[in-house]
């Protein structure tokens, strides 16, 4: 059996690795371009809201999801008890 | 001053790179490693103090655990594949070697444990290139294992 394996060499795997990487990185590079946009949006949204009330920078989440047809931007900001009425404001 | 960063792309790496002037990206010729390196290169260009000041971060690639025989058989990404994908200049190629684990077991860097071994020589040469020596990059020979043919390679 070992002899058989020796002679019937499996096909080269490096081209597959190369192709996988190219597809993967093309996708990832495109989405990191988007995360810069998300960071910018986050900073500007924060600046606008903090003009009117005190918010904790750490308790803000901005998510962008890309779909084939529609992309969504979800902003979740937690407003501290003292600043508002202890409610969570959610916009999507 | 050289600061070693934890492997991977977690917070340890981003902390280590934050105030860097020059970065050496160490990668293996495998998909997961090259992928992480690509992300690290992206972070080096955006999340470091230097990048935020609008300056260009100097980056070098050190390819480790390279097995020329397997690359030649088509079972491992070749140096050129990795360079093409990551497109940063090559600092050196460290061949896969049992000497590295042996040195690690002894608690000693391979350059001190066995300075004449192939990986140690590769590290010494990489260090010299980092210092500015125009040393041609040697790719471990493709047919007779690590100690086989060595041919010159133009430093990128």
What ipTM did this prediction achieve? 0.74
> How much is the pLDDT for A35?
60
Tell me, yes or no, whether B39 lies in a domain.
yes
Q: Which of B31, B38, B39 is closest, CB to CB, to A17?
A: B31
Give the model's confidence band at A61: pLDDT under 50 very low, under 70 low, under 90 confident, else very high. Answer: confident
Nearest to B37 by CA among B77, B74, B97: B77
Report pLDDT digits (tens) over B70-107.
Answer: 999 999 999 999 999 999 999 999 999 999 999 999 99
Cβ distance of B31 and A24 shorter than 8 Å: yes
Give the model's confidence band at B33: pLDDT under 50 very low, under 70 low, under 90 confident, else very high. Answer: very high
Question: Count of domains in chain B?
Answer: 1
The mean pLDDT of chain A is 75
Q: Is B85 on the interface with A (CB under 8 A)?
A: yes
Q: Which domain holds residue B122?
A: 11-150
The mean pLDDT of chain B is 88
Best of A11, A15, A18, A27 to mutate (most B CBs within 10 Å, chain B): A18
Tell me, yes or no, whether B156 lies in a domain.
no
Q: Alpha-carbon distance B95 to B103, whole Å?
A: 15
Check: CB of residue B26 under 8 Å from CB of residue B3. no
Tell me, yes or no, whether B138 lies in a domain.
yes
CA distances, B3 to each of A21, B12, B16, B52, B83 (Å): 28, 11, 7, 20, 24
Residues A31-44 have a mean pLDDT of 71
Check: CB of residue B27 under 8 Å from CB of residue A25. no
Q: Is A70 helix (H, G, I), strand (E, B) or coil?
A: coil
Tell me, yes or no, whether B107 lies in a domain.
yes
Give the model's confidence band at B121: pLDDT under 50 very low, under 70 low, under 90 confident, else very high. Answer: very high
List the B90-95 sheet strands across, edge first: B22-27, B58-66, B90-95
| Token representation of residue B142 | 């493709």
Tell me, yes or no, whether B21 lies in a domain.
yes
Nearest CA in chain A to B76: A14
% of chain B residues with pLDDT over 70: 90
CA distances, B29 to each of A17, B33, B129 (Å): 10, 7, 21
Tell me, yes or no, whether B2 lies in a domain.
no
pLDDT at B53 over 70: yes
Q: Which of B31, B39, B74 is closest, CB to CB, to A21?
A: B31
pTM of this prediction? 0.68
Tell me, yes or no, whether B1 lies in a domain.
no
The CATH code of the domain that includes B120 is: 3.40.50.300
What single string gives the DSSP state of each residue in chain B?
A: ------SSSSHHHHHHHTT-SEEEEEE-SSHHHHHHHHHHHHHHTTSSHHHHTTPPPEEEEEEEEE-HHHHHHTSS--HHHHHHHH-S-EEEEEE--HHHHHHHHTTS-HHHH-TTSHHHHHHHHHHHHHTT--PPPPEEPSSS-TTS-EE-----
> How much is the pLDDT for A36?
67
Q: Which residues of A touch B74 (CB under 8 A)?
A: 12-15
Tell me, yes or no, whether B102 lies in a domain.
yes
């Amino acid at each position: 059996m070992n002899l058989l394996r020796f002679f019937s060499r499996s096909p080269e795997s490096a081209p597959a690795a190369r192709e996988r990487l190219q597809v993967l990185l093309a996708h990832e590079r495109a989405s990191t371009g988007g995360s810069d946009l998300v960071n910018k949006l986050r900073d500007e949204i924060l600046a606008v809201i903090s003009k009117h009330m005190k918010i904790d920078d750490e308790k803000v989440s901005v998510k962008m999801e890309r779909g084939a047809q529609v992309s969504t931007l979800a902003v979740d900001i937690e407003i501290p008890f003292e600043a508002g009425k202890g409610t969570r404001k959610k916009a999507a | 001053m050289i600061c070693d960063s934890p492997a991977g792309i977690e917070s340890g790496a981003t902390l280590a790179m934050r105030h860097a002037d020059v970065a050496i990206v160490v990668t293996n010729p495998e998909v997961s490693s090259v992928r992480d390196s690509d992300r690290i290169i992206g972070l080096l260009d955006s999340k470091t103090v230097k990048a935020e000041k609008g300056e260009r971060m100097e980056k070098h690639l050190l390819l480790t655990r390279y097995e020329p025989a397997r690359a030649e058989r088509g079972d491992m990404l070749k140096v050129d594949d990795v360079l093409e994908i990551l497109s940063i200049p090559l600092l050196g190629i460290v061949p896969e070697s049992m000497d590295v684990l042996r040195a690690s077991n002894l608690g000693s860097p391979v350059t001190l444990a066995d300075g004449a071994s192939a990986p140690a020589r590769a590290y010494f040469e990489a260090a010299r290139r980092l210092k500015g020596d125009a040393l041609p990059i040697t790719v471990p020979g493709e047919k007779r294992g690590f100690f086989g043919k060595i041919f010159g390679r133009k430093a990128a």
